[in-house]
Structure 1
Amino acid sequence: MVYKEKDLEVLLSQAESIARKIEDLRERPTANKHKREILLLDGSREDAVKISLHEDSLQVFCEKIRQLQHEIVIKQKDLPVAFVIFKSRCGAALAAQSQQHSHPLLWITEMAPEPRDVSWRTLAIPYRILPLYKIGVVLAASLLTIFFAIPVTAVQGIAKYEKLKKWFPPVMAVELIPGLSSVVTGYLPSVILKGFIYIVPFAMFGMAKLPGCISKSKEEIKACNMVFYFLVGNVFFLSVLSGSLLDEIGESFSHPKNFPSHLASAVSAQADFFMTYILTDGLSGFSLEILLPGLLFWDVIKSHTVGRGTEKDPYLYSLPYFRIIPMVSLSVLIGTVYAVVAPLLLPFLIGYFCLGYLVFINQIQDVYAIVYETCGQYWPYIHHYILVAIVLMQITMIGLFGLKSMPAASISIIPLLLLTLMFNEYCKKRFLPTFHHYSIQNAVEHDELDAKSSQMEVNHEDVINAYCSPCLQPVNFLTSESSSTQPLVCSSSL
């Protein structure tokens, strides 16, 4: 069963805060060893008194937490949510993929995520109000996308120097410095755009937590999908059409048959901008992943202010999937569309992916340990992103051949577009169910292997212990690790 743990979470957060204070006080003498011995001795005595007081306070909180845990279980303050443990995979698969009640909203079942992937906070959200949360998230994401059009349009104004001189005459002072105008109109717009985009994935991830996903991986996948369409709408289409945005949109709605030719002409005009965008994305994306300048800067500030003990565990933060995958997918889309329109962009794209491969092969093998498994749930979305790129490329080719007065070539692309859509439908029927359902045949085979190796009972006991809520687990803050650490690959495995 899942219990109401709101009061318990408050006590746990307060106890964790006190435990962090104790940890900082214990590390302070080590961090200040370079100071004079008398000051160090006086400071150590004062810190020892504070540590003793905090430890007494922490013991009181631990007793309250244990008492509240006992009351929650005894009084059965449970929620209408539960994890049901089966002795066999076959039974679990049949129960999770079947309708248990004639009224489908009275009893909803689905396969549980792995224990490390469970989002315990969202399990307390009533299922009936989840549609309201989803509508609110869609509205918030739409508003963010619309308002983000303002900085994107301004950035494209910088890229068009001739129009910028008409709008803002003082900018002609840039011409006094040789070469500066090329930097301002070429590289600066991409840098500014990347700066604005940097905060978008984290804002989308905050929105993705609201609809009540039962797992952390589903929250990240939802955020990943929202960020991708945000980038396609604002970075690709808005950058392509920003020269006369309203005119282009109005023309596309009034004469939809002219959309391919408008798209082809607009895409051709923005080739230089997207070259610098991919170059900037490679330098500011993959380089941030391996250099972590923000974390390095924070560590320098922390070591010169509150101090940091030499025995403290190292901590690193990977750039999350909901930031990396949409950015890389957008680069794939840009490269696919421009492969025909402007092939000179392809060397930049190849360099971008080579840099990404070198960075992530190092991070995956030598740096980061797995926090939780997504079981390949990103692949259907990546397939969809690639399909969007191919469809846009084919529509652009239709328009490009039309601009070149080659109607036969344009018409010959239409069957190719239809074949692409038909292949996508085949993939949905053939491969997509594998990601959404668990095969009974595979479940029976795994159960037979476990039965032969006498692992059925062992696995059953392990699963029961694994799905215990973190708030109901035994507390011992004095031996807990710092909350700022993330699991790394241990040195013995290198």
Structure 2
Amino acid sequence: MDISSLLTSAGINIAFCAVFISLYSVLRKQPSNSSVYFGQRLAQLRSKEGDGFTFDRLIPSANWIIKAWKASDEEILACGGLDAVVFLRTIVFSIRIFSVAATICILLVLPLNYFGKEMQHHHIPSESLDVFTIVNVKERSQWLWAHCLALYIISFSACLLLYFEHKNITKMRLVHITGFSPSPSHFTVLVRGIPWTPKDSYSDSVRNFFGKYYASSYLSHQMVYRSGIVQQLMRDASKIYEMISLNSTEPHCRSNLLRCCLCGGKTHSFKILSNESESIRQRSDSIDSDLREKECAAALVFFRTRYAALVASRVLQSSNPMHWVTDRAPGPLDVYWKNLCIPYKQLWIRKLATRIASIVLTLLFIGPVGFVQGLLHLEGLQKRFPFLRGDLKNKYIIRVVTGYLPSVVLMIFLYAVPPAMMLFSTIEGPISRSDRKRSACTKILYFFIWNIFFGNVLSGRVIERLSVFSRPGDVTALLATAVPAQTTFFMTYVLTSGWASLSSELMQPYALLSNFCYKFILRYNDDPSCGVYSFPYHTELPRVLLFGFIGFVYSVMAPLILPFLLVYFFLANLVYRNQILNVYVTKYQSGGRFWPIVHNSTICSLVMTQILSMGVFGLKKSTVASGFTIPLIILTLLYNEFCRQRFIPVFKDHPAQVLIDMDQKDAQCGMLEEIHEQLRSAYCQFASTPNELDKSVPLNHFEEGQRAILQDPEDMMSRNKSRR
């Protein structure tokens, strides 16, 4: 590919970006689209302003860019939580490190690559992109010292910037733990693998076990039930309440009846009724017996202090590790209730099956990757398939096919990957929604790196030379030869999958189409699920990290890619800030636990860059530059171990020191009794009405602000399916 083909691809993508951004700035001003671009709460507020037509609504504007740019981390934290801050800090980190890399490599490395060999250079638009890469540097060149020096500067700058990000995000994580009102999850432990005894029910077994071994700290517990029959029982309980409300005049009776035994109420809460409702009491007794039959071998156990819950969640409870398995409970709105009923003994089978399925999906994707690489190597395909020669003679067609079409085809194939990985992560059995997204995020990231990067690199090598496996032992030399040869593809991939995808993210085409169908075709204006979603961390974070991986690998080998990456990250910072502030609704969060994924990906990118650079230096027969890369790899691995010991443990668990201080503070203020009362109704597995779950959960400040916007979209989708 030459510069003209690259400019053709850049021109097409810039045109798409300009059109999409202009359309977005117009569509967001239309009152009918407010539910798509401003969330449900803002949609209701804006709809009250009236639909008076003004010409200003038809004029594109950049006000959203200014507002997104001025938004502070505090505003992002208030709207999207700590996960949103971590995501945007990842983009800011990428901007900083690649600004350093672009400055060093474009001023120092790029001229050395261009004049690396004694050759007659053509007019720049007609130049091949290979002359701007390390491939153009002759063997045993002393200029390779500059490449090694640039590699050292980039690596040390990345580690230094990553250290400061670690410190800041760790502080935010601790503030997240201590800064909010008391969270029910701090006092709650999830227990699975409860052993079955014919004499006692699961509930009695939990009460006897924790009442005996945690007598001083055990408060109460709540069983987990299988969903099918329990929902019917909830409807029966609702009917009983309606019957009682007609006969009872005592207000405290009604308040007690609102708590069912599934949501933290007492198991025999119906015993407060008077003797005049004997039939109702018999009905409630039958419900209690049915509930016992539908109990799962899982329960939520509440403790009196945070520290007691932390100890119970980390201690081996039984001599049989498959019995009485304890974990820290998720937040009330983060619990994924369906997976709590999965027998604990099945989890390892599920994890093994999902990993095998992920590997199979990765292998099946080799076909589309090979097809995409065939579009990049038209000369080789024309030699093997002569019937293609007549159709590919036009130079403009060649520019479009080689410069734009491969990335578009690959991006279309990739749309099927996130739903499949989310399905695998659900089957795996996570106990929380955030854990499910984190698991899917890791799977998608591995898929992207191994298929989009290594798959395209190796498949392109196969198409160019069929003797790719002639030296199977020399993997480093193979990659060192193949990676620089695929520079052109990854430049166009950044343009297509990067710039264009951000424009599509702004437009929200699926939500816009759904909103149009509901309001103008179906004439249904009050659908709360239309156009409002939670932030897709499992798809967007892997994409950002993949571009970071590509940037690190090609920073020294092909510096020309860095300006395109910087444009992507700057645009991503504005787009995602706007989406978090206005579009997406956050109902639950993991408290910044996506950050270890960012750390691992960054270290992996650095080490892979150093290994590939060492291989390239070796192929160029520069033993000094290749030898000096080895200490850099060792230092990076040592730095990674330091971060894993110093920062990462904070994201895996809560510090005991912090929890004890919080317990002592609450005890001095006399708040523990109030917290204990709230725990009884904190977790509600089922609700007879859509809003009952939110009313029964004592939320922290972040969740209270989000509850006013919209209910959880995933819960809403499951309710709609159950209604059908």
**TM-score, reference length from structure 1:** 0.80
State whether structure 2 residue 297 is matched by structure 1 residue 297: no
Cα distance change, pair 251–319 in 1 and its aligned pair in 2 (3 A): farther
- RMSD between superposed Cα atoms in Å: 3.0
Residue number in structure 2 paired with 1:250:
469
Cα distance change, pair 126–184 in 1 and its aligned pair in 2 (3 A): same
Residue number in structure 2 paired with 1:270:
486
State whether structure 2 residue 223 is matched by structure 1 residue 2: yes
Runs (5+) with no aligned partner, structure 2: 1-221, 236-279, 695-705, 711-724
Q: CA deviation at 1:239?
A: 0.6
Residue number in structure 2 paired with 1:145:
362
Cα distance change, pair 480–141 in 1 and its aligned pair in 2 (3 A): closer
Match of residue 131, structure 1, among 334, 341, 348: 348
Q: Where does 1:201-280 land on structure 2 (aligned, <5 Å)?
A: 201-245=418-462, 250-251=469-470, 254-255=472-473, 258-280=474-496
State whether structure 2 residue 409 is matched by structure 1 residue 196: no
> CA–CA distance in 2 between the matches of 1:488 and 1:476?
16
- Tell me if structure 1 keeps the 8 A contact 2:445–2:542: yes
Q: Secondary structure at the match of 1:355?
A: helix
Q: CA deviation at 1:161?
A: 1.3
Cα distance change, pair 72–306 in 1 and its aligned pair in 2 (3 A): farther
Residue number in structure 2 paired with 1:364:
580
Q: What amino acid is aligned across from residue 335 of structure 1 in structure 2?
A: G
State whether structure 2 residue 656 is matched by structure 1 residue 440: yes
- Tell me if structure 1 keeps the 8 A contact 2:226–2:295: no
Q: Where does 1:54-453 land on structure 2 (aligned, <5 Å)?
A: 70-71=287-288, 75=292, 77-175=294-392, 177-245=394-462, 250-251=469-470, 254-255=472-473, 258-309=474-525, 315-318=531-534, 320-453=536-669
> CA–CA distance in 2 between the matches of 1:136 and 1:312?
37
> CA–CA distance in 2 between the matches of 1:428 and 1:362?
33
Q: What amino acid is aligned across from residue 273 of structure 1 in structure 2?
A: F
> CA–CA distance in 2 between the matches of 1:140 and 1:327?
21
Q: What amino acid is aligned across from residue 290 of structure 1 in structure 2?
A: L
> CA–CA distance in 1 between the matches of 2:462 and 2:394?
32
Q: CA deviation at 1:488?
A: 8.6
- Tell me if structure 2 keeps the 8 A contact 1:158–1:184: yes
Cα distance change, pair 77–403 in 1 and its aligned pair in 2 (3 A): same
> CA–CA distance in 2 between the matches of 1:431 and 1:374?
16
Residue number in structure 1 paired with 2:689:
476
- Tell me if structure 1 keeps the 8 A contact 2:223–2:296: yes
Q: What amino acid is aligned across from residue 308 of structure 1 in structure 2?
A: Y
Q: CA deviation at 1:433?
A: 2.2
Runs (5+) with no aligned partner, structure 1: 15-62, 482-486
> CA–CA distance in 2 between the matches of 1:13 and 1:392?
56
Q: What amino acid is aligned across from residue 628 of structure 2 in structure 1?
A: S
Cα distance change, pair 12–327 in 1 and its aligned pair in 2 (3 A): farther
Cα distance change, pair 10–197 in 1 and its aligned pair in 2 (3 A): farther
Which has the bigger relative contact order, CA under 8 A and spacing at least 6? 2
Q: What amino acid is aligned across from residue 380 of structure 1 in structure 2?
A: P
Q: CA deviation at 1:287?
A: 2.1
> CA–CA distance in 2 between the matches of 1:189 and 1:68?
66
Q: CA deviation at 1:403?
A: 2.2
User: Which moves more between the two structures, 2-11 or 367-376?
Assistant: 2-11
Q: CA deviation at 1:135?
A: 1.4
Cα distance change, pair 310–212 in 1 and its aligned pair in 2 (3 A): closer
Cα distance change, pair 268–313 in 1 and its aligned pair in 2 (3 A): closer
Cα distance change, pair 88–120 in 1 and its aligned pair in 2 (3 A): same
Residue number in structure 2 paired with 1:40:
none
> CA–CA distance in 1 between the matches of 2:602 and 2:681?
41
> CA–CA distance in 2 between the matches of 1:310 and 1:131?
44
- Tell me if structure 2 keeps the 8 A contact 1:238–1:245: no
Q: Secondary structure at the match of 1:343?
A: coil
> CA–CA distance in 2 between the matches of 1:281 and 1:12?
50
Q: CA deviation at 1:402?
A: 1.4
Q: CA deviation at 1:288?
A: 2.6
Q: Which of 1 and 2 has greater Rg? A: 2
Q: Secondary structure at the match of 1:116?
A: coil
Higher helix share: 1
> CA–CA distance in 2 between the matches of 1:69 and 1:409?
79
- Tell me if structure 1 keeps the 8 A contact 2:375–2:401: yes
Q: What amino acid is aligned across from residue 689 of structure 2 in structure 1?
A: N
**TM-score, reference length from structure 2:** 0.56
> CA–CA distance in 2 between the matches of 1:312 and 1:407?
65
> CA–CA distance in 1 between the matches of 2:382 and 2:529?
54
> CA–CA distance in 2 between the matches of 1:13 and 1:168?
67
Q: Secondary structure at the match of 1:285?
A: helix
- Tell me if structure 2 keeps the 8 A contact 1:96–1:111: yes
Q: What amino acid is aligned across from residue 460 of structure 1 in structure 2?
A: H
Residue number in structure 2 paired with 1:48:
none
What is the percentage of aligned positions where both structures have the same residue?
36
Q: Secondary structure at the match of 1:85?
A: strand
State whether structure 2 residue 676 is matched by structure 1 residue 460: yes
- Tell me if structure 2 keeps the 8 A contact 1:369–1:488: no
Cα distance change, pair 324–74 in 1 and its aligned pair in 2 (3 A): closer
